[in-house]
Amino acid sequence: MHIMEGYLPLSHCLGWAAVSLPVVVYGSRRIIRLLNEKPETKMLLAASGAYVFVLSALKIPSVTGSCSHPTGTGLAAGLFGPAVTAVLGTIVLLFQALLLAHGGLSTLGANVFSMAIAGPFVAYGLYRGLTGIGASAALAIFAAAALGDLATYCVTALQLALAFPDPVSGTLGAAAKFLAVFAPTQVPLAISEGLLTVIVMNLLQRYSADELSALKPAVREA
């Protein structure tokens, strides 16, 4: 879902960066506060960031005959909230932009917005909403991770459509075309990401009950 270097006009790059920067700054302050108040969650925070690292490095084949990668942000969003996840996602995007020429510095703001902000917000909302109405943590994290993943790709399609409106059908037409590229490829990957995140959540509930309860109310026992 990474928009490649130089593929957005300068004004869009600056605009998305202006939207993303405050969230990342706020998220950094949340992390500092979290580590001061609940230092026992430090390792879990690192592991959640590592999960984003792993998943966004895996380019997985999809039924459409093309490859894409999951985002891995749903877990951190469910556990720590979207602002903290924005920081973790930004670190990964920066790593890939600088070392892998995957994504880019000029498009960093836009990519942070889609992968590290929009997706995690959707994931967080779903996780809190579903656990709030009594769904099991497994079901809630599945929906959060899978639909957060899809949301990221929908936002990317929209960002590209805003920059490259279709000459005939305009921005909406272009959005439909970009979605047609991303969505069919991403749906099976989103399901994979959801299932994988359920495994991690199962392990966490078994081995890290202390940390999960320290993170309440961000995490509630199902």
Partner 1 sequence: MLKRNLLLLFAVIALAILPLVIHHGGTAEFNGADNEAAKLVETLRPGYQPWFTPIWEPPSGEIASLLFALQAAIGAGLIGFYFGRRSASGPRSAPGRRPEKLAPGE
Q: Which residues in 71-130 contact partner 1 (CB under 8 A)?
A: 95-102, 104-106
3-state secondary structure of 61: strand
CB of 174 to partner 1, least distance (A): 6
**Which residue bears the tokens 């510095």?**
105
46 touching partner 1, by CB under 8 A: yes
In whole angstroms, the minimum distance from the beta carbon of 65 to partner 1 comes to 3
Instruction: Determine which residue in the list 64, 91, 139, 220 makes contact with partner 1, applying CB under 8 A.
Output: 64
Task: Please tell me the number of Cα atoms within 13 Å of 39 on its side-chain side.
Answer: 1
Residues 5-24 that bind partner 1 (CB under 8 A): 5-7, 9-10
Beta bridge partners of 166: 170
What is the H or E stretch that residue 9 is in? Answer: none
Q: Assess contact for 59 and 71: CB atoms under 8 A.
A: no
Q: Are 1 and 151 in contact (CB under 8 A)?
A: no
In the list 91, 94, 135, 191, the residue contacting partner 1 (rule: CB under 8 A) is 191
CB of 89 to partner 1, least distance (A): 13
Residue that has been written with the tokens 């942000």 in this structure = 73
Of 19 and 181, CB closest to partner 1 = 181
Q: Which of residues 157-176 bind partner 1 (CB under 8 A)?
A: 160, 164-167, 174
